[in-house]
Amino acid sequence: MTLKYLMDENVDPTYTTQLRRLKPDLFVLAVGELTAPPRGTLDPEILSWCEEHGFILVTNNRKSMPVHLNDHLAQGRHMSGILILNAKLSVGENLEELILIADASFADEYQDRIDFLPLP
């Protein structure tokens, strides 16, 4: 199973466009697209959707997403993981990190975790 990314609605759409261009075999959806959760979906519901569909959430929400993930896990739920973009990195550097993760990771490597880019 290969990784799949769901881009949070507050992530610049450039990320979705460029990931699709640079790595066409990576399945990338953005909140608000046809088969993804609609814009305005609450974060706990986004996590449930990611769990159900096997997506890693890519977000820039450093403040509340760790709390939502802890709540999600406390309910006995699971998810494929959350990757937090780094505002100090350029778009290109964040994209490189996301592509490297997609190329070099096991399907369940980030399960129930939240990781901040760049990875150590």
Mean pLDDT, consecutive 10-residue segments, the chain of 120 residues? 89 97 96 96 96 96 92 95 96 97 91 93
Q: What is the CATH number of domain 4-116?
A: 3.40.50
pTM over 0.85: yes
Q: Return the closest-CA partner of residue 1 out of 73, 80, 58.
A: 80
The secondary structure element, H or E, covering residue 5 is strand 4-7
The pLDDT value given to residue 2: 80
Domain ranges of the chain: 4-116
Residue reference for tokens 């980030």: 110
The pLDDT value given to residue 32: 96
Q: Return the closest-CA partner of residue 50 out of 80, 21, 76, 20.
A: 80
Residue 46 three-state SS: helix
